[in-house]
A and B are shown apart, each in its own frame.
Chain A
């Protein structure tokens, strides 16, 4: 028991590495605030492209989405961070993470928005167009707001996964929470910083997990 406390919950070590962890935490927050909006925007763009009545465009969208869903995000990130600099394209750690996340998460968000848009009955388009709204207005004032509302649980679920995924940025030495924790561990030869990082993720993300559970159960009750 004492061993457990001194190796996992050591207050001295925690005090010593806390500034690191805090800096890492803020980096994770910053990263989330960058990658979630660009992923959502990219996904919406993909879903809208899918509504274009052109077979070639649709095919390209499906290929893009399936390609990046098949590519493990860590592999994509390493390719961008370590491979592209050989072509004199050096995005830096933060840029590489942002691009990798844009490509990966936009295909997931894209699929979600597509399902949302498909859930809106045709009559809604026809009604909107017949009141004199243009195609663009129909999309932005009638279809997308309802579509988004229908897929809110999936959007939250995917966002939770994206936030968790930011931990892979530690592999390309972006000093986010996990990276800070691992550095703290190697400096102190003690696992407390890693456990602390796990607890920080848990405290921040647990409310989202609870909210999702509630959504899932309510969906079934309506079923």
Chain B
């Protein structure tokens, strides 16, 4: 029984054979994840900044786009980008489609979180800053944002981790990341050991990230 378990899930010969592929996938997962995090947070931050100008039609548009991106499953968005857009002549690689979809979803969540942070700064702070002669942008930059960012960090970290794990969804459109590599290896070898290897690769990557998230939560918790 134990032999069978080891032979099925921890077959060293098969694991050694496909390890290079999994490592290749590991690198792609990291690239994809970093690209999603950077683009998503930057874009979400920019949208929250734009929203703070409170131009009605612009804000309405931002809210509509954010709501749509929060209501539709990321996998559906990836599939729309990769399988539906080409039928109207917009083609992109699987990597690009996955990156764009996940970055947009993260941007939507990040915008909501940053905006909530901006709203948490009492109105009096704005008025006080403006009355000392700071311009609108200076107030935003030196008074509001430093306070807002602090309370947004814990929820933003958690959301970012959750969306980064979504890079595995790229396997569905054949992005060569960890899950895709281990799935392909599994179907070639007809042995689930590559899936075990893939799972271990994800744990190596994400356990430190989750631990970091836990640390961030406790680090910022005492302030409230």
Residues of chain A touching chain B, judged by Cβ–Cβ distance below 8 Å, are 3-4, 7-8, 66-67, 69-76, 78-79, 82-83, 86-87, 160-161, 164-168, 170-171, 178, 182, 185, 190-191, 194-195, 197-198, 201-202, 205-206, 208-210, 213, 216-217, 220-221, 223
Which of B87, B196, B198, B211 interacts with A7 by CB under 8 Å? Answer: B87
Which of B4, B112, B214 interacts with A66 by CB under 8 Å? Answer: B214
Say whether B84 contacts A70, CB under 8 Å: no
Interface: B24 (CB within 8 A): no
15 sample A-B contacts, Cβ–Cβ < 8 Å, listed by A number: A3-B89, A7-B84, A8-B84, A8-B88, A70-B207, A72-B206, A74-B171, A86-B9, A86-B192, A87-B8, A160-B70, A182-B79, A182-B83, A209-B70, A220-B116
Interface: B46 (CB within 8 A): no
Contacts of B171 in A (CB 8 A): 74
Say whether A202 contacts B186, CB under 8 Å: no
Contacts of B195 in A (CB 8 A): 75, 78-79, 82-83
How would you classify the secondary structure of chain B's contact residues: helix, strand, loop or mixed? helix
* A79-B192, A201-B71, A220-B120 given; A66·B207 CB < 8 A: yes
Contacts of B70 in A (CB 8 A): 160, 209
Q: Report how far A182 CA is from B78 CA in the complex, Å.
A: 12
Q: Report how far A83 CA is from B183 CA in the complex, Å.
A: 11
B167 to chain A, nearest CB (A): 8
* A66-B214, A182-B79 given; A72·B112 CB < 8 A: no
Say whether A202 contacts B192, CB under 8 Å: no
Contacts of A164 in B (CB 8 A): 72-74
Say whether B183 contacts A7, CB under 8 Å: no
